Amino acid sequence: MPQSFLSTRARTVVTNESTNPFHEVTKDSWNPTTNPTGYINVGVAENTLMHTAFLKYINKPLTLPAKYLTYNEGGSGSTRLKNSIAAFLNKHLRPAIPLQASHLLPTNGLSSALEHVSWSFADPGEGILLGRPYYGMFIPDLSLRSGSVVVPVKFDDVDPLAMDAVGKYEEAILDFQRRTGKNVKVLMLCHPHNPLGRCYPRDVLVALMRLCQRYQVHFVSDEIYALSVFENGVDEQPPAVPFESALSVDLTGVIDPRLVHVLWGMSKDFGANGIRLGVIISQANRDVHFALGGSTLYSSVSGLTDHLVSVMLEDFEFTDWYIRRNQELLAEGYAYTTTYLKDHGIEYATGCNAGFFVWMDLGKRFCELHPGESEGGDIGEKVMRRLLKKKVFLANGAFCGSERDGWFRIVFTQGDGLLSEALARIVAALEG
């Protein structure tokens, strides 16, 4: 369809997507046997480390009841699914108030959940706070169709996950109000953090909740990496902060519980991006559930996914083993990657103990190797061009809202063969 037949927003998407190298990368994926010259993709947050175990579990006869071939209980998932998610998360997230099926609204992935959150809480032009750096797709998920405005929070030299960062969020709220005359309606966290791979300390979560209470802002914690935590045996500083869910906080005297919401899904903790199962958890705000009751038609979980996830999450013996083994492999992947980076003079953000990624400063190493290239700025773009020439794809810091030029995110959960090839190509791109 010609672009002139599209809306302004749709035309913008077409323009942006036509220049996005990701599409070329996915069409020419590396395979050591059939396509050894293809692109190595370590830019997308996928975890393949446990795929064999996952497939072994699900590739056995399943008896699918006929009701899953119908609309069943509607777009927000079956009662069985919600009960199984509630029981599973009660075990692992240890909420202060145990989860019930009525607290949950399943969706076909967290992208849909994020858009629902934006639509529910922020009118067009109103603000959603998002600390830098951030998961790049938060921007379209939260603003593309809802018309809300993502407000990136700049921290300068302050640790984005430390107590001093709370003041930066407040400055952003007041600045947005002053510039636009509109209010900030949501504070969006990724906890554990993507791309920094760290967890927010409990006292910082509480301080951010108090800030939200003061300005009547919804506190939304995306906890899709909640169980993808691991022991960091590499870095001495800063000490790793254990993960504690926002659900585990006693909200009495802290914040109106109607302002607190948590997101979770199968994509990361179970390495199953293609399963398409997310959930919005809102324990005290019934209006959210009523408001989204109709729109869940557009984000409904498939019957097969509903049944499969219910069966899996009810099997505590399997999920306990799966989570434990996945965490062991995450620790190994992190250690391998960071050791390689140090051996090749590449600095990275230390102290990670969650997620699939390392946040690394390729720009600094590039400038050390090529002093003449440091002139003119935009080092990240120069490095990105070199990476793509070597056919390796990373998430550029600019896409992640980095405050410093030259930073990139590498995903280390794609298997040893692909990872070692990716690291070799990255070094070759910097040195060439």
The DSSP annotation for 296-337 comes to GGGGPPPHHHHHHHHHHHH-HHHHHHHHHHHHHHHHHHHHHH
Kindly give, in sequence order, each residue whose CB lies less than 8 Å from that of residue 271, ignoring residues fewer than 6 positions away: 46, 47, 48, 49, 50, 51, 54, 326, 413
The pLDDT of residue 98 is: 98
pLDDT band (50, 70, 90) for residue 373: confident
Q: Look up the CATH number of the domain holding residue 219.
A: 3.40.640.10
Q: Which of 315, 343, 373 is the last residue of a domain?
A: 315
The phi, psi pair for 42, rounded to 5°, reads -120, 30
Domain span at residue 21?
Answer: 3-51+319-431
Do 108 and 256 fall into the same domain? yes
pLDDT at 10 over 80: no
Please count the CA atoms within 13 angstroms of the CA of 260 that sit on its side-chain side.
Answer: 25
The pLDDT of residue 415 is: 86
* Block residue for tokens 């959930």: 279
Number of domains in the chain: 2
Do 261 and 367 fall into the same domain? no
Q: Which of 263, 298, 315 is the last residue of a domain?
A: 315
Of 51-60, 127-136, 253-262, where does mean pLDDT reach its minimum? 51-60
Q: Are 246 and 262 in contact (CB under 8 A)?
A: yes
Q: Shortest CA distance to 253 belongs to which of 421, 35, 25, 96?
A: 96
Do 135 and 244 fall into the same domain? yes
**Looking at the domain assignment, is residue 59 inside a domain?**
no
Do 327 and 297 fall into the same domain? no
The pLDDT of residue 165 is: 98
pLDDT tens track for 319-337: 999 999 999 999 999 999 9
The pLDDT of residue 11 is: 67
**Looking at the domain assignment, is residue 204 inside a domain?**
yes
The pLDDT of residue 19 is: 60
The pLDDT of residue 18 is: 58
Q: If you average pLDDT over residues 120-143, what whole number do you get?
A: 97
Mean of all residue pLDDT scores within the chain: 94
pLDDT at 362 over 90: yes
Q: If you average pLDDT over residues 106-128, what whole number do you get?
A: 97
Rounded CA separation 356/56 (Å): 23
Do 426 and 340 fall into the same domain? yes
Q: Which of 315, 345, 360 is the last residue of a domain?
A: 315
Q: Look up the CATH number of the domain holding residue 375.
A: 3.90.1150.10
pLDDT at 376 over 80: no
pLDDT at 99 over 60: yes
Do 120 and 211 fall into the same domain? yes
pLDDT tens track for 286-318: 999 999 988 888 999 999 999 999 999 999 999
Does this model's pTM top 0.85? yes
